[in-house]
Structure 1
Amino acid sequence: MMAIQRVGIIGAGKVGIVLAGLALDAGYTVRISGSGSVKKIALTIKTLVPGAIASENADVVANSDIILLAIPLSRYKNIDADLLKGKLVIDAMNYWWETDGIREEVLDPSTTSSEQVQTYFKDAKIVKAFNHMGYHNLQEEARPKGDPKRKALFVTGNDPEAVATVAAFVDHMGFDTVVHNNLADGIMTEPGSPLFGASLRYAELKDIIDHFDQTEFGKEVAAQTHK
């Protein structure tokens, strides 16, 4: 596994800000970019997460060991695919109709959102994480390893080494992990699934994931993703 010291976050909305705060608390150097000017974002960052460095996408990527995508899903193609070449990238995005618009205009219905993100950023290693727990819970529920009240997050991707690195990072950020090595399994945590919005401990989260394939939603997903 690679050692993570510098964290880059693309997206200065609620999720991006919360993740920046968690990363700072965990001892990482944090750079963050947003859709506005760096000057405008810097004021927000200074107020909400003092210690993080506001910058542009290119600088964030160039000076980070891991990148978190925390932007509206409909905007990921606004980022040059080559920018993330060779990078380890956490997809913390979800489709949300209020910000993304009509689903069919954003996503191919025959495959999952993270698989489409991986196809677009074909030279990056995409791992899905931080997307099923609400940002308030992420902010409030981070706890040291071994704390009986510690919550868990689902982590999945196609590259086992990348997944292991992200799982260790998530653990350091304050959460246990349930790990899979299939990016398509990320569908289990997206809006409409039993896990979306879930703030659960490890055993509870693992139990729901283990039984997911038996639910009607799981059967529909399996039918779609294995066509």
Structure 2
Amino acid sequence: MKIGIIGAGHIGSALAGRLTRLGHTVYIANSRGPETLTDLAQKTGATPVTAAEAARHGELIVVTIPLKNIPDLPRDLFANVAADVPVIDTSNYYPLLRDGQIPELETGDLTESEWVQQHLGRPVVKAFNNILADHLAAPGQPAGTPGRVALPIAADDAAAKQQVSVLVEALGFDAVDGGSLRESWRQQPGGPIYCNDLPADQLRAHLTRLGTTRTEAQHAEYLANQAKQEQAMAAQGVKL
């Protein structure tokens, strides 16, 4: 496939390297211009382009930039992209360390990817947000391997979800249906699915236990857990 990646941070770089090694043609963009991606291109085999070119060339597109920067993307970025091209959103909300407070996410009116979808004006698939970049960069495991890490995929479009599932499996992870985009809160920071590298049976058990409709108590719990984690990261000097 031809895959466009918008964002050359930890997740974008990890995906670029893995996907090119699988034989895909990867076009990668950042906010500073293709000329700043020479080293990454040599390391991963991806082709540096502008964001518009990454979107135009991609048969599948990954948007993996800081959440706060989503509104800065060109409004017409996907104007010439066919409706059946899946757009993956990998973003996570870090209000303390990076993004500042976003009202719709603080109140729980929207999930993170619903917020992204509104700004992009394009249906998205929530995936690759709940695994550490260095774990994503490492080779996955063959299907059927005991304890193989599973990744949830949430979307409203069944066909797009299936395409992303095939990609996840090819990367060496079990693809697990994470429900609709409205249900993607279950894989957001602060919850038991986030960055815990769970096998499929445990991941599905958590999804079932959490239910599909987020309660006020669950939203408050996730925000509190994430705040503690961000405070710990800040104390360690971590910067995003």
Q: Quick check: TM above 0.5? A: yes
**Aligned counterpart, 2:158:** 160
Offset from partner CA, 1:128-159 (integer Å, 9 cap, x none) = 00001111222225222233342110001011
Give ranges in structure 1 of 5+ residues lacking alignment. none
**Aligned counterpart, 2:66:** 72
Q: For the Cα contact (< 8 Å) 1:69–1:91, is it kept in 2?
A: yes
**Aligned counterpart, 1:33:** 29
Q: How many residues align?
A: 215
**Aligned counterpart, 1:88:** 86
Which of 111-120 and 95-104 deviates more? Answer: 95-104
Which of 95-104 and 197-206 deviates more? Answer: 95-104
Q: For the Cα contact (< 8 Å) 1:213–1:222, is it kept in 2?
A: no
List aligned pairs for 1:201-216, cutoff 5 A: 201-213=199-211
**Aligned counterpart, 1:111:** 110
**Aligned counterpart, 1:189:** 187
Give ranges in structure 2 of 5+ residues lacking alignment. 221-240
Q: How many percent identity over aligned positions?
A: 30
* SS of structure 2 residue aligned to 1:208: helix
**Aligned counterpart, 2:215:** 219
* SS of structure 2 residue aligned to 1:154: strand
Q: TM-score if structure 1 supplies the norm length?
A: 0.86
Q: For the Cα contact (< 8 Å) 1:151–1:201, is it kept in 2?
A: yes
Q: For the Cα contact (< 8 Å) 2:66–2:99, is it kept in 1?
A: yes
Which of 175-184 and 143-152 deviates more? Answer: 143-152
- Matched to 1:52, the amino acid is A
Which of 135-144 and 20-29 deviates more? Answer: 135-144
User: Counterparts of 2:168 and 2:71 in 1: how far apart (Å)?
Assistant: 25
- Matched to 2:33, the amino acid is S
Q: For the Cα contact (< 8 Å) 2:105–2:112, is it kept in 1?
A: no
Q: For the Cα contact (< 8 Å) 1:107–1:113, is it kept in 2?
A: no
Q: For the Cα contact (< 8 Å) 1:89–1:126, is it kept in 2?
A: yes
**Aligned counterpart, 2:98:** 99
Q: Out of 17, 22, 31, which is 1:21 matched to?
A: 17
Q: TM-score if structure 2 supplies the norm length?
A: 0.81
Q: For the Cα contact (< 8 Å) 2:14–2:136, is it kept in 1?
A: yes
Over aligned residues, Cα RMSD in angstroms? 2.4
User: Counterparts of 2:219 and 2:67 in 1: how far apart (Å)?
Assistant: 23
Offset from partner CA, 1:143-182 (integer Å, 9 cap, x none) = 2223334211000101111111111121112211111441
Q: Out of 50, 58, 67, which is 1:56 matched to?
A: 50
Q: For the Cα contact (< 8 Å) 2:153–2:165, is it kept in 1?
A: yes
